[in-house]
Amino acid sequence: MSAIKLKANRRWRAWVNRRIPREDQRHLDRRSIFILPTGAGVVFGVLLVVMLLTGINYQNSLIYLLTFLLGALFVAAMHQTHNNLSGLDIAMLKPGEGFAGEPIAFHVRLQADHDATAIDLLNDNGPGASLSVPGGTLVDGAIEVPSRERGYLLPDRVRVETRFPFGLLVAWSWLQPATPAIVYPRPITPPQAPEGSDDGENAEADQRSQGQDQVELRPWREGDLSARVDWKRYSRNGEMVVADWQGELGSPRWLDFEGFPGTDHELRLSYLAALVQERSQAGEVWGLRLPGLTIEPDQGDQHRKQCLRALATWRQTPPQGEGDR
């Protein structure tokens, strides 16, 4: 029985994936909206059948009238529930980022050419949101997806549903996001300082470099402070470079993957994530070395995020489309 259920579930998912492909934007129409009675709707329908049989049995015109009026109300509710979702545009904005073990927010934006009331965004593994969208306006919401390990995080489906106006029927569709969030390694403070954490020079050479007005010029990168740009050089030849004053900053320190020999790779990444947070809060200049990747010493929030993203995606493959799942 379980094998039959699994096979039927795979066929159902494949059929849904053909109708609702994985993408960050979706316009809901009759081809992608499903509707069924709720539990209350099923009870309501059973009562209508009982009332109709009673009216037939007793040939009572008042029972006929009440039965047909309530039946017409049910049909009208069916159209209203479907139309409340039809024509809705839903778009997944840039997903959030966070550390493993924390819920990651996926921000969505809704728009409709008519008033869409009581639209619920549901996620199987986390809290959702309930929104009402006035016609012609943009409404933003967010759902939270729990994270367990570093890497890419992509929710399977976001369910968009409504039970308006009477709760007798539920109309729903799905959005299958295509852009994953990035989950940083869980920060774990290392038990001791990493080996080879400075840039290869010994302490005596570092002491000699302190207090000297040595400067190193490098190309400008996004996130660099404007105060560090050599504007005189830019005015002469249009070349935007950044001055790293070694006399002020001292020797940059390296956070090296190989600085924790004998440690599990994932634990090393967690150690490095904690050190990235520590160096960033201290305002130090530091760089990151991973096998196959080197991020030059720098500072600032942009540099911190770049290093955390490198730790999160190291040897990770971005998730593929939903076609084969």
Per-residue pLDDT of the chain (325 residues; tens, 9 = 90+): 678 888 888 887 788 778 888 899 999 988 889 999 999 999 999 999 999 999 999 989 999 999 999 999 999 999 999 999 999 999 998 888 999 999 999 999 999 988 999 999 988 776 688 999 998 899 999 898 999 999 999 888 889 999 999 999 999 999 989 999 999 999 999 886 665 554 444 434 443 333 334 456 667 766 555 656 777 777 778 777 766 544 444 446 789 998 888 889 999 999 999 999 998 998 888 899 999 999 998 889 999 999 999 999 999 988 865 444 4
Distance of CA 26 to the CA centre of its chain: 16
| 225 and 172 in a common domain | no
Phi, psi of 24 (to 5 degrees): -85, -10
Residue 251 lies inside a defined structural domain of this protein: yes
Number of neighbours of residue 246 by Cβ within 10 angstroms: 18
| 210 and 160 in a common domain | no
Q: Which domain holds residue 240?
A: 203-313
Residue type, 251: S
Residue 152 lies inside a defined structural domain of this protein: yes
| 215 and 267 in a common domain | yes
| 279 and 131 in a common domain | no
| 50 and 165 in a common domain | yes
Residue 320 lies inside a defined structural domain of this protein: no
| 214 and 113 in a common domain | no
Residue 224 lies inside a defined structural domain of this protein: yes
| 248 and 304 in a common domain | yes
Residue 139 lies inside a defined structural domain of this protein: yes
- Separation of alpha carbons 181 and 178, rounded Å: 10
| 158 and 48 in a common domain | yes
| 28 and 175 in a common domain | yes
Residue 191 lies inside a defined structural domain of this protein: no
Residue 1 lies inside a defined structural domain of this protein: no
Residue 246 lies inside a defined structural domain of this protein: yes
Bridge partners (DSSP) listed for residue 298: 286
Cis peptide before 165 (omega within 30 of 0): yes
Give me the helix-helix angle, 61-85 and 39-58, nearest 10°: 160
Q: Would you state the pLDDT for residue 312?
A: 95
Q: Would you state the pLDDT for residue 205?
A: 40
| 304 and 235 in a common domain | yes
- Separation of alpha carbons 322 and 269, rounded Å: 29
| 167 and 80 in a common domain | yes
| 171 and 301 in a common domain | no
Q: How many domains does the chain have?
A: 2
